[in-house]
Amino acid sequence: MNSSLTIPKISFLLVALCMTGLALAGEATSDLPSWQEFQQVKAAGKTIWQVDIDNDSLLFRKEDGFYTSGNWLGQSFVQTGVLQSVTYGWRIGQDLYTASDIKLLPGQISSHDHPYAGWLYGGIFSEKTEANGKSLRLGLDAGCLGPCAGGEWTQTHLHRLLRQPLPQGWGTQLRNEWGVQLTAESSPGRLLPMANVDMTPRFKAHFGNIFTDASAEMQVRAGALNTFSEQAANYGFLRGEIKAVGYNATIQGGYFNKQVTTVTPKTWVGELELGYLWRNDAYGLSVSIIRRSNEIKELSNGSGAQNFARVQLFYAM
C-alpha cells in the first residue's frame, strides 16, 4: 500500500470540486454557517428526527457481506421560507463492513476479500437550499475505526436477535484509528423537463483519514414533488452516482496506523438507487434498493458488486 501518494492526488480534485460547488450554489448559499444563525433556526424553525437503515439482509440474501450495515440517527432544526430553507443538525452513526460471507471462518477468508471493519462516528452539519434547488451542505464527523467502533458486538447481538447466522471473522478486523471527516455537497439547481418530473445534479466530496473521495450524481424524481425536502411529497426516484476514490480506510486500513492490507480500492465506483418517498407534515418514509459496483481491485466486478436496501424514517415536531 502506498497511501502517501493517494491523498495528494485526490486533494486537488476535492479543492476544485468544493470551489466549483460554492460558485454554483449562488447567493442563497454564499454565507457560511454561524452560531447566530443556528440559534435563530432552532428558535423559529421546526425539529425533524431522522433514522437511516442500510442493510443487505433486508433483501433476504443468503450471504451477508461487504458493506453489510449502516445506521444513523439525526436531529435537524429547519427554518423554511418561500425562497429558502436553512437546516442545522447533528447525527450519530455506525457502518459495518465484513468479508463477502460472514459465515466464513478466519482461515477461509480469501486474502482478496473485504476486511472486517467498523466505523462509529458523530457529527454536525448545515444546509441551505433555494426554491430552485440550488444548495450547499457542509458537515464535520469524528469517530473511530476498528474494535473501538463496536462492530462485532452490534452485528453479533443483532443476528442473535433475528436468529441469523453469526459472523465468524471479526477477530481479523482492522486496527483502531481515530478519524475526522469533512464533507461538502452542492447542487446548481433543478432541471424541469416536464410536469411532475425534475432532475437534480449534485456534487459531493469527503476529505479525511477514513474516506477521501469526490463524486457526481443525478437524481430524477417523478410524482407529487416538494420544493424543499422537509415538505409533503409522494414520488418515485432514480439516482445514479460516479465516485473517484482517493482513500478508503475500511479497505486499506487506517491512514496513520500504517496497517498494510492485501486489497486496494478501485479508483472509480458507481452506484444506482431506485426508490419511493412519502412524506406529510409530521411523518415520512423512504425505501430504496441500491446497487453498488465493485470497490476492490483484486475482486472481479461480478463477485465484488453489492446490493442492499435503505429505509429512512422521518418525524417532524
pTM: 0.90
- Separation between Cα atoms, residue 246 and residue 255, nearest integer Å: 12
Least Cα distance to 69 among 174, 150, 177, 185 occurs for 150
How far is the C-alpha of 304 from the C-alpha of 292, rounded, in Å?
9
- Contact (Cβ atoms closer than 8 angstroms) between residue 123 and residue 95: no
Residue 265's CB: how many other CB atoms inside 10 A? 20
Decide if pLDDT at 74 tops 50.
Answer: yes
Residues near 121 by Cβ (< 8 Å), separated by ≥ 6? Answer: 92, 93, 94, 141, 142, 143, 144, 179, 181
Largest separation between any pair of C-alpha atoms in the chain = 60
Nearest to 102 by CA among 144, 175, 154: 154
Q: Which of 17-21, 173-177, 198-202, 234-238 has the lowest mean pLDDT?
A: 17-21
- Residue 137's closest CA among 122, 119, 124? 124
C-alpha–C-alpha distance, residues 222 and 241, integer Å:
18
Above pLDDT 70, what percent of the chain? 89
Backbone angles phi, psi at 117, to 5 degrees: -160, 145
pLDDT of residue 57: 86
Of residues 138 and 58, more confidently modeled = 138
**Confidence class of residue 260 from pLDDT cuts 50, 70 and 90?**
confident
pLDDT digits (tens, 9 = 90+) for 11-20: 445 544 554 4
Structural domains of the chain in order of their starting residue, each with its CATH number: 3-316 (2.40.128.140)
- DSSP β-ladder status, 135-145 and 66-80: unpaired
* Cβ proximity of 241 and 282 under 8 Å: no
For residues 150-165, average pLDDT: 93
- The pLDDT of residue 63: 67
What does residue 210 show for φ and ψ, rounded to 5 degrees? -105, -55
pLDDT at position 62: 63
pLDDT of 19: 44
SS3 content of the chain, % helix, strand, coil (to 5): 20, 50, 30
Question: Which residue blocks in the chain are alpha helix, DSSP H?
Answer: 3-25, 35-44, 151-162, 249-252, 301-304
Distance of alpha carbon 253 from alpha carbon 297, whole angstroms: 15
Average the pLDDT over 173-201 and give the result: 96
Per-residue pLDDT, averaged over 288-308, amounts to: 95
Percent of the chain with pLDDT over 90: 84
